[in-house]
Each structure stands twice: as C-alpha cells, then as structure tokens.
A = this chain, B = another copy of it.
Amino acid sequence: MDSKLVVAVDVFDCDFALDLAREIGKEVFALKVNWPLLMVRGSSIVSELSRYARVICDLKIADIPNTNRLIVDKVSGEGAWGVISHSFTGEDSLKSVVEAAGDTKVFSVVAMSHPGASQFIHPRTDELIDLSIKTGVYGLIAPGNNYEMLSGIRARTNELVLLTPGIGAQGGTPEEAMRHGADLLIVGRAIYNAEKPIEEVRRFNSAISQFRR
C-alpha cells in the first residue's frame, strides 16, 4: 500500500462511516476522525473503523497533562494508529501525549489553515516545531493551502512526517502540496460526498503518485 491519502471522515453517522471505510479502507493510507463522530457513541467507533484501515484521531488535544493522558490512553486502547495533539499548551502537555501514546503515532499541530491561526499560533510556529522535535512526535500538521508556510515547516525538519489539511475545498492542490514538502494529504468532502468515493480515492492516489517530495 503506497497511498499518501488520508480521508477525513467528517460525518456523524457511524453506519455511513463504516460503509465508507469498508469501501475505501484498502486503498487509502488512513482514515481521519474527529470529535463530532466520537461524540455519537463514544470512542468505540475507532476500533470499529480500524478493522478496515489505519485510523488517525484528530482530537486537537490541548489540556493539562493528566487529562491528555486519559484521552490518549483511550484512543490508543481502541487501536488508533495516530493521534493529533496541539503543542501550544507547552512541553509537559505535549510530552504527556507522546508518553501515553505508546505505539500510536503523535502528530503535533504547529500551524492551522484558518485565518485566526495567524494571531497566536503562527508567530510561534518555529518554536512549536522545535518543541515537537524535542518531544519526540512522529509528525506535524502543516497547512496544504499555504505553500510558503508548508515549505518553511519542511525546511525546519526533514525527518518528521508532514500531514497536510487544506486540500480541495480549502484551496490546496495535491500536486502543489507534495511539491512543497507534504508527506500525507488529507481530503474530506471531495471523497465522502462523492457518488462513488472509491473512484475519487483512485483519482487522488493517481494524481499524488506523480509528485513525491
């Protein structure tokens, strides 16, 4: 499996999510879920989806160390392949996530794709990257619709895996994101809203496969 595609399953219907996972699971790198889906019937949806594909829990964890640990223990116990945490809550907070994660990969947020991120997060992005490296995360979240920022993050770390939202509806293209240093691309609506999701997955896989960093 060499897909670089992470499909955001931003839906509230567990049956729909499981049907989608069954259809596309074998041809994507991973599925990404966030809190709204976990709120429907709890974190067990993570282990259900994990039967069909790797699951990355996009929880934007941003609490005190003890609460972070409890959250990560839970999704890790459900078999999550990865988990997304903020880093702006500081070293002890991010460290608690990495320690609790065990074999689950931690991706740390150092930049975001919405305008408000420019106020408090982006002025500190370089420091958030350095903290993330120091803390031993597996990868970073880097905006796929802001190529200058994406390149800047890539320039600061060659090792960490860059997982990139902002593709499609938010303006980024797979080709440009890969050229600017992305490793894994997140696509949501364009796939889960498609009449035939598997055909969209194949179209994205094919487009991406021509542009490796």
Contact = CB atoms under 8 A, between A and B. Distances in A.
Interface string A37-54: 011111100000000000
Interface residues of A, number: 44
A36 interface: yes
A199 interface: no
A117 B91 CA distance: 9
A39 B71 CA distance: 8
A34 interface: yes
Contacts of A60: 62-63
A162 B60 CA distance: 24
A69 to B, nearest CB: 9
7 contacts: A10-B67, A35-B63, A35-B67, A35-B70, A89-B120, A90-B116, A92-B115
